[in-house]
Amino acid sequence: MRSPRPDGRARARRIGPRCASLAAVALSLAAAAPACSQGEGEGRIVGTLDAPDCWTGAFELEPSFLAAVPYRNAITLRIQSGSDFQNFSDGLTILINDRTQIRPDPGRGFAGRYREPLRVDLPPEVTPPGTPVKADSTPALVNMTLYLQRSCRTQTVTLQAVDEVTIANDGTCNAPPLRGADPTQGCAPDKEAPGGVGSGRSVIAFSSISNGKVDEETAAERLNAGCFDVYLADPREASPGGPPPPCRGHLRGSFSFFFERGRPSQPFP
Surface-to-core class of residue 103, CB atoms within 10 Å of its CB (0-12 exposed, 13-18 middle, 19+ buried): buried
Confidence of residue 82 (pLDDT cuts 50, 70, 90): confident
Confidence of residue 177 (pLDDT cuts 50, 70, 90): very high
Task: Answer yes or no: is pLDDT of 134 > 80.
Answer: no
What does the pLDDT average to over 23-29? 35
What does the pLDDT average to over 84-100? 91
Residue 54 falls within a domain, yes or no?
yes
**115-118: long-range pairs with CB below 8 Å, 24+:** 115/186, 115/187, 115/205, 115/206, 115/207, 116/186, 116/205, 117/183, 117/184, 117/203, 117/204, 117/205, 118/142, 118/183, 118/203, 118/204, 118/205, 118/206
Range of the domain at 238: 38-258
Residue 16 falls within a domain, yes or no?
no
Task: Answer yes or no: is pLDDT of 97 > 80.
Answer: yes
What does the pLDDT average to over 104-133? 86
Residue 268 falls within a domain, yes or no?
no
Q: Which residues of 122-147 are buried (b: 16+ CB within 10 A; e: fewer)?
A: bbeebeeeeeeeeeeeeebbbbbbbb
Confidence of residue 267 (pLDDT cuts 50, 70, 90): very low
What does the pLDDT average to over 99-105? 94
Residue 50 falls within a domain, yes or no?
yes
What does the pLDDT average to over 164-188? 90
Residue 5 falls within a domain, yes or no?
no
Residue 60 falls within a domain, yes or no?
yes
What does the pLDDT average to over 209-218? 77
Residue 159 falls within a domain, yes or no?
yes
What does the pLDDT average to over 162-175? 89
Tell which wins on pLDDT, 40 or 5: 40
| Nearest C-alpha neighbor of 234 from the set 172, 166, 152 | 166
Residue 166 falls within a domain, yes or no?
yes
Amino acid at 225: A
**Domains: count for the chain:** 1
Task: Answer yes or no: is pLDDT of 249 > 90.
Answer: yes
Tens of pLDDT, residue by residue over 139-165, are 899 999 999 988 887 676 889 999 999
What does the pLDDT average to over 57-80? 92
Task: Answer yes or no: is pLDDT of 205 > 70.
Answer: yes
Per-residue pLDDT at 5: 40
